[in-house]
A and B are shown apart, each in its own frame.
Chain A
Amino acid sequence: MKKKIFTLLFVGLMTIFMTACAGAIAPPAPDGAEDTHAEDSDSHDDTEMAEDDAHGDDEDHGDEDMADADMMGPAGYESWDAVLAEAEGQTVNWFMWGGADNINAWVNGPVAETLLADYGVTLNMVPINDTAEAVNKVLAEKEAGQDDNGSVDMVWINGANFLTMRQGDLLFGGWSEGLPNYAFVDASDPSVQNDFGTPVDGYESPYGKAQFVMIYDSADVETPPATIPELVEWIKANPGKFTYPAAPDFTGNAFVRHICYEATGGYEQFLGEFDQALFDEKFGACWDLLNEIEPFLWREGEYPESDARIKDLLANGEVHFDMDYNPGSAGNLIEDGVYPDTVRTFVFETGTIANTHFVGIPYNSPNKAGAMVLANVLLSPEAQLQKADPAVWGDLPVLDPALMSEADAAAFDALPRHPATLSTAELSANRLPELQADWTTAIEQGWIENVLEN
């Protein structure tokens, strides 16, 4: 009798496992890279359809045409006041990379306080390791039919993750250009109109800018190489003292793109849609160059799995160079004691790659109005100024000084700058664009096949 009871309980337990496993096998894992190629040709149609969706959702405002809606308020709202009214009392779950204490402190401190005090919106910052985690979460919700009560209200996003979300129709659209503070953004700036070559089209709101810089320890390297050929020379003359992170590390991929821009004779030929034939023809030279320096890298060609490892290696004198996609990060790391005081940054005479990072709202967020208010706060001159302060974060602003009040513009000019951080003038004189995400994905794959596995 008792044996039967136990057996029954046991069967119940097994059912739990089986259900969990069966559910697990069904949907394939998302892969931005795969989608990129498959859906590339339809991307324009997707855009139009998704815009229709965004307006269709908003039944109250009926069939107003798009231009009118944009004039009145974002995403078909009657006015910005209507957004504010709806936002009051909402809680915004913002999924963002949470690996920097200064950024977390700023978001959970001044940003959250302003949002609550001025707009009655509560901010719940969700720290994540990798933005893809948030993208996968929205994707899973869509697969499960959770179309209007999703758990992600805002994501900090750009590049391939933005492309994946656009292709999967995972983003809410038609709102970002209607934010009141968008008036301070130079709307004609290509780096605000495009996110890694993908048109933004109102699906995400600019948040900050980043530019790749090379980092070196001036105690070990007197004059940093001015060009990539000089860097190659240096690497060969100083075996074991340079390395870069392996794909899929974000920073490592960006470094490889710099080498490829140089080795293939310039990025200009790759602007626009991905072209497999052109890629196959030109990028051999890049793999050759990278393979040529490989024996001279750290541990005769071992690639650390992340940029964080290289920061450690530089701090401990194992290598003499590092790199970062945030021009202010070296200064912050010196202040935090991670780097020695002698660390400095430089950019190549031929320029370094720059991009814009954004915030997006998932299509199924139940707190879209609150998220828009948050995006607007992030775009305000006050927030952008705070964020640009090296003591707070040191992120490059997205606002155009010419569109701001003179006092605001002067405040940006007066910001202190860490000795390790280059001036905005030095940075902006040497800027290169990012290629479309299809290209960057192909370069990442090409590096794995031709350099790592070679």
Chain B
Amino acid sequence: MKRFSKGVAIALIIFGVLAPFIPLLIWSVARRWYFPAILPTEWSLRGWSYAFSNASRLPQALRQSFAVSTTASLLAILIGMPAGRVLGLYKFRGKTLVEFLILAPTIVPAFAVVMGIHVLFIRYGLADTLSGVIIVHLIPTLPYVTLVLAGVFANYNVDYESQARSLGANTWQVIRYVMLPAIYPGVIVAGMFAFIISWSQYLLTLMIGGGRVLTLPLLLFSFASSGDNNVTAALSIIFILPAIALLVITSRYLTGRNASLGATRGN
């Protein structure tokens, strides 16, 4: 019974997330859909047939989007975890300033800094490369990863680590068998944040990727501003599917339960 009501709750959450996309779904197959008609008066698969034609270059964009976002979120977790641990566990002088600086990339609009970043990346030979795009995606993703993990570490009891050490565990064993199992759900959530933020980067990818790295937002945004609702809707659906899939997969970690459960289900 409890299991059932939980299922209903999850279904409702998923519906709440999906409902706004119903018009999108209809638009992707609508040819004519004018006010005040509730449903389109004519239908067409033009949007989808363009999306899957050679002209749209969808396969390349999907491949590179996945490569960039997956690598960028893994790196963000790797870099963000130590920072999150320090911020969550310790008090030190200037902590507020550090937190502010970490948040800075989320406050400063990308457009204001992208020119400078670009010049820097050209000097370091990172412009127009896949690795350059992955590194530049760390800028918007790291603040979220760090702050989510800081929150996770704030509820983490370091005494377990001391306990493990007193039983003879070395540093690696402490991380592997004590820390990671305890924070694992938080890491998943942080990774999801990072993936979705990286997944939707437009300007940074365009400037640093130089057109040699073609991601989905690059395809999508040039249509979104042109008023072509069919193609935009079809591309949007392809664009949001991975985000929804991620939400479904990670939804069980968003329930607030933690630590022990994550530990037994294992890595």
Task: Collect the chain A residues with CB atoms within 8 Å of residue B173's CB.
Answer: none
**Which residues of chain A from 263 to 285 have any CB-CB distance to chain B below 8 Å in the complex?**
none
Contact of A337 among B31, B90, B119, B226 (CB under 8 A): B31
Cβ-defined partner of A317 (8 Å) among B35, B214, B227: B35
Interface 1/0 per residue, B130-171 and A, CB below 8 Å: 000000001100100010000000000000000000000001
Question: Quick check: is B117 within 8 A (CB to CB) of the other chain?
Answer: yes
Is A109 a contact partner of B55 (Cβ separation < 8 A)? yes
Please give me the residue from chain B that is nearest to A109 by CB atom: B55
Q: With a CB–CB cut-off of 8 A, which chain A residues contact B113?
A: 20-21, 24-25
- Of the candidate stretches A45-53, A127-135, A166-174, the one touching chain B is A127-135
Q: Is the CB–CB distance between B210 and A24 below 8 Å?
A: no
Cα of A9 to Cα of B30 in the assembled complex, Å: 53
Asked if A407 is an interface residue, CB under 8 A from chain B, the answer is no
Q: Which of B104, B118, B138, B230 has the most CB of A within 10 A?
A: B118
Give every chain B residue within 8 A of A307 (Cβ-Cβ). Answer: 227
B135's closest neighbor in chain A, by CB?
Answer: A16
| A137→B117 CA distance, assembly (Å) | 11
Q: With the chains together, A207 CA to B62 CA distance in Å?
A: 31
Interface size counted on chain A using CB atoms at 8 A: 67
Query: Is there contact, CB below 8 Å, between A317 and B34?
Result: yes
Which of chain A's residues has its CB closest to B127's CB? A151
**Shortest Cβ distance from A26 into B: residue:** B116
> How distant is the Cα of A127 from the Cα of B231 in the complex, in angstroms?
14
Q: Chain B nearest CB: distance from A59 CB in Å?
A: 24
Chain A residues with CB under 8 A of B55 = 101, 104-105, 107-109
Determine the residue in chain A with the shortest Cβ distance to B31: A337
Say yes or no: is B120 at the interface (Cβ < 8 Å to chain A).
yes
**Min CB distance, A431 to chain B, in Å?**
26
**Contact: A14 with B211, CB < 8 Å?**
no
Contact B34 A99 (CB under 8 A): no
Contact B211 A7 (CB under 8 A): no
Q: How large is the interface on B (under 10, 10 to 19, 20 to 34, 35 or more residues)?
A: 35 or more
| Interfacial residues of chain A within 91-114, with CB under 8 A of chain B in the complex | 93, 95, 97-101, 104-105, 107-109
In the complex, the answer to whether A99 meets B223 with C-beta atoms within 8 Å is: yes
Q: Are A127 and B42 in contact (CB under 8 A)?
A: no
Q: Are A13 and B210 within 8 A (Cβ)?
A: no
Pick from A17, A101, A105: contact of B228, CB under 8 Å: A101
Across the interface, B211 reaches (CB within 8 A) one of A9, A22, A124, namely A124
Q: Is the interface of A mostly helix, strand, loop or mixed?
A: helix
Does B7 count as interface, using CB distance less than 8 angstroms? Answer: no
Are B35 and A13 interface neighbours, CB within 8 A? Answer: no
Which residue of chain A has the shortest Cβ distance to B122 in the bound complex?
A144
Question: Do the beta carbons of B212 and A20 come within 8 Å of each other?
Answer: no
A129-B211 contact in complex given A27-B116, A340-B32, C-beta closer than 8 Å: no
Closest chain-B Cβ to A336's Cβ sits at a distance in Å of: 7
Closest B residue, CB atoms, query A315: B34
Shortest distance from the beta carbon of A316 to any chain B beta carbon, whole Å: 4
B53 near A105: Cβ-Cβ < 8 Å:
yes
Q: Which residues of B contact A151 (CB under 8 A)?
A: 127-128, 210-212
* Residues in B whose Cβ lies below 8 Å from that of A126: 211, 214, 218
**Given known contacts A16-B138, A98-B222, is B171 in contact with A27 (CB within 8 Å)?**
no
A318 touches B119 (CB 8 A): no
Partner of A129 from the list B46, B171, B222 (CB cut-off 8 Å) is: B222
Q: Does A186 contact B (CB under 8 A)?
A: no
* Chain B minimum-CB-distance residue to A95: B211
* In the complex with contacts A10-B83, A17-B105, A104-B55, A93-B210 CB distance below 8 A: yes
Bound state CA distance, A420 and B55, in angstroms? 27
Contact B226 A99 (CB under 8 A): yes
User: A95 to chain B: which residues have CB within 8 Å?
Assistant: 211
Given A108-B54, A126-B211, A337-B42, A140 and B227 contact (CB-CB distance below 8 Å): no
Q: Do A101 and B50 touch (CB < 8 A)?
A: yes
The verdict on A336 contacting B116 (CB below 8 Å), with A95-B211, A98-B222, A137-B207 known, is: no
Q: Give the chain B neighbours of A146 by CB distance below 8 A.
A: 122, 127
In the assembled complex, how far is the CB of residue B58 from the closest CB belonging to chain A, in whole angstroms? 12
Distance of A143 Cα from B231 Cα, bound (Å): 37
B32 to nearest A CB, angstroms? 4
Residue numbers in A under 8 Å from B225 (CB-CB): 99, 129, 306, 308
Chain A residues positioned under 8 Å from B230 (CB to CB):
336-337
Contact, CB under 8 Å: B34 / A336: no
Query: Taking the nearest CB of chain A, how far is it from the CB of B59, in angstroms?
Result: 13
Which residues of A sit under 8 angstroms from B35, Cβ to Cβ?
Answer: 316-318
What residues of chain B lie closer than 8 Å to A136, measured between beta carbons? 115, 207
Q: Is the CB of A6 within 8 A of B211?
A: no
Which chain B residues border A3 with CB–CB below 8 Å?
90
Taking Cβ atoms with an 8 Å cutoff, the residues of B that contact A are 30-32, 34-35, 42, 44, 46, 50, 53-57, 79-80, 82-83, 85-86, 90, 98, 101-102, 104-105, 108, 112-120, 122-123, 127-128, 138-139, 142, 146, 171, 206-207, 210-212, 214, 218-219, 221-223, 225-231
Listed by A's residue number, 22 A-B pairs whose Cβ atoms lie within 8 Å are A10-B83, A10-B86, A24-B113, A24-B117, A26-B116, A29-B115, A93-B210, A98-B219, A99-B222, A99-B228, A101-B228, A105-B50, A108-B57, A129-B225, A133-B207, A137-B207, A140-B122, A151-B127, A151-B212, A316-B34, A337-B30, A337-B31
Known: A13-B146, A16-B138, A17-B105. 17 other contacts (CB 8 A): A2-B171, A10-B86, A13-B82, A13-B83, A16-B142, A27-B115, A27-B116, A99-B225, A104-B56, A128-B222, A133-B206, A144-B120, A144-B122, A151-B210, A152-B211, A308-B226, A315-B34
Give A residues with C-beta under 8 Å from B. 2-3, 5-7, 9-10, 13-14, 16-27, 29-30, 93, 95, 97-101, 104-105, 107-109, 124-129, 133, 136-137, 139-141, 143-146, 151-152, 306-309, 311-312, 315-318, 336-338, 340
7 closest cross-chain pairs (CB), A and B:
A99-B226, A308-B227, A126-B211, A24-B116, A151-B210, A24-B113, A337-B31
